[in-house]
Chains A and B, each alone.
Chain A
Amino acid sequence: DAKTTQPNSMESNEEEPVHLPCNHSTISGTDYIHWYRQLPSQGPEYVIHGLTSNVNNRMASLAIAEDRKSSTLILHRATLRDAAVYYCIPSGNTGKLIFGQGTTLQVKP
Chain B
Amino acid sequence: NAGVMQNPRHLVRRRGQEARLRCSPMKGHSHVYWYRQLPEEGLKFMVYLQKENIIDESGMPKERFSAEFPKEGPSILRIQQVVRGDSAAYFCASSPQGPRSNQPQHFGDGTRLSIL
Contact = CB atoms under 8 A, between A and B. Distances in A.
B108 interface: yes
A46 B105 CA distance: 7
B110 interface: yes
Contact size class for A? 20 to 34
B43 A45 contact: no
Interface stretch (B14-22, B51-59, B65-73): B51-59
Contacts of A34: 104
Interface string A9-33: 0000000000000000000000010
Nearest to A95: B99
For chain B, the bracket of interface size reads 20 to 34
A100 B59 CA distance: 15
Contacts of A41: 109
Nearest to B101: A93
A42 B109 contact: yes
A95 B108 contact: no
A43 B104 contact: no
A49 interface: yes
Interface in A64-95: 91-95
Contact of A46 (B48, B56, B104): B104
B99 A43 contact: no
A49 B35 CA distance: 20
B42 interface: yes
Contacts of B64: none
A101 B98 CA distance: 26
A93 B99 CA distance: 5
Interface of A: 32, 34, 38, 41-46, 49, 91-102
Interface of B: 4, 31, 33, 35, 42-45, 48, 55-56, 58-59, 91, 93, 95, 98-100, 102, 104-110
